[in-house]
Structure 1
């Protein structure tokens, strides 16, 4: 198969993937919150990795801590996130999904993580890394 054949295949599959993702209904409990993609990435990180500090989230998301702080402030005001002191270092705050929001967020976002796990499961660690790097290169190329 040539590169053009594979590009053609990807050009067919990508819009279907995006369309399916867009059709995943936002749970009723979250509809009024006007969540943006930046919120979803942060919430996904908290679902996957559990409670984290602002610095840890910033590193995971590849953005500045001030950006994460703004998102956290927005989601905290909406009751989606809860912040608490770090018992080991009282100067730090630990961020997590609030108990009230967790069931709806889990039901909504966990499906995407599970789909990626299923898609990547048959691959070796090296092949998975290639898939991730390819997606990142594609994102950059589309953004240029």
Structure 2
């Protein structure tokens, strides 16, 4: 690994120093995120990370079809359909017919659960806004691209 010197390519740490910093930072971040308490009203519902992503899309982007959710979550529509069914039975999501195409179902967060889900997910959104706001759009894109590249690399190794 690196000796702690700056990168010869410009300001900032070298690759090895950045890796070291991330290897220390990532477990702390994950630990802090895991300690965000699930609201008491939702604790019995066994919500996992996959549910949080689905709920986040519905909260921030509004109601959408199962196929739209599947595309955004990058998983099969059948998997999303199962998740939607599960969360609908628990009263977290509502499904209604699409007025334009009765074969399609529109999925949304149940109005009774919206405030608690909004409050719960807003904490992460506020933290991300604080972290990303000072960056330029190009820097934000680079950050997102880097996280996606890391995710792919970990997936390839697993």
Both proteins in one fold, TM over 0.5 = yes
Q: Partners of 1:91 and 1:117 in 2: how far apart?
A: 38
Look up the match of 1:69: 81
Return the match for 2:149 from 134, 137, 140. Answer: 137
Q: Partners of 2:76 and 2:138 in 1: how far apart?
A: 29
Equivalences, count: 144
Out of 118-127 and 90-99, give the one that drifted further: 118-127
Structure 1 residue 37 displacement after superposition: 1.1
* 1:73-92 to 2 correspondences below 5 Å: 73-92=85-104
* 1:1-144 to 2 correspondences below 5 Å: 1-143=13-155, 144=157
- The higher relative CO (CA closer than 8 Å, separation ≥ 6) is in 1
TM-score, normalising length from structure 1?
Answer: 0.94
In terms of fraction of residues, the more strand-rich structure is 1
Please identify the structure whose Cα radius of gyration is greater. 2
Structure 1 residue 117 displacement after superposition: 2.1
Can you give the 5+ residue segments of structure 1 that lack an aligned partner in the other structure? none
Structure 1 residue 104 displacement after superposition: 1.4
**Would the aligned equivalents of 1:47 and 1:110 in 2 still touch at CA under 8 Å?**
no
Cα RMSD for the two superposed structures: 1.2
TM-score, normalising length from structure 2?
Answer: 0.86
